[in-house]
Amino acid sequence: MKAQDIMTQNVICVEIDERLPKVRQIMEMHGFHHLPVIEKGKLVGIISDRDLLRLISPFINSVSEQPRDLDTLNRAAHQVMTRQPITVNAETSVKDIITWFKRVDISCLPVTDKDDHVIGIISWRDLLSHATFAS
């Protein structure tokens, strides 16, 4: 089995200058945990829900909200994304994908073509949903 067999296709991406409120909205609306960041159609980074939790003030929309809390929302995707994410191509074996997940502390792998365009994404959930277990 290869990446192309288990990847989620038609991936929604955000541009490098997209602001965090829009990034958060997209992730919440679709139930995403990862969002690829592109520039001129090419993958340049990835943002996880953990990145947003770590960076966006928990006091937003609360009685304790301060101007500095709102400032956390003014950041652009490129300011919080993980740059140069590990990627795989459509022909990468599932065995190699599992090796990446075990070797590096990541929970998704963008699938890119030879020109660094995002053609899919694989999360550990995709691996589990396609796993076959011998009985």
* pLDDT, tens digit, 9 for 90 and up, residues 13-38: 999 999 998 998 999 999 999 999 99
Tell me phi and psi for residue 97, to 5 degrees.
-65, -45
Query: How confident is residue 58, by pLDDT bands cut at 50, 70 and 90?
Result: low
Strand 108-112 to 34-39 pairing: unpaired
**Whether the predicted pLDDT of 44 surpasses 80:** yes
Neighbouring C-beta atoms of residue 78, cutoff 10 Å: 16
CB-hemisphere CA count at 13 Å for 4?
A: 5
Cα dihedral 109, 19, 63, 66 sign: positive
The confidence score (pLDDT) of residue 134 equals 40
Residue 95 maps to a domain = yes
Query: How confident is residue 65, by pLDDT bands cut at 50, 70 and 90?
Result: low
Residue 135 maps to a domain = no
Q: Domain with 23 in it: what CATH number?
A: 3.10.580.10
- Which pTM was predicted? 0.85
What is the count of structural domains for the chain? 1
Residue 126, helix vs strand vs coil: helix
Residue of higher predicted confidence among 67 and 18: 18
pLDDT in tens, 69-78: 667 778 899 9
Counting every residue written for the chain, the total comes to 135
Residue ranges making up the domain that contains 70: 3-130
**Whether the predicted pLDDT of 57 surpasses 70:** no
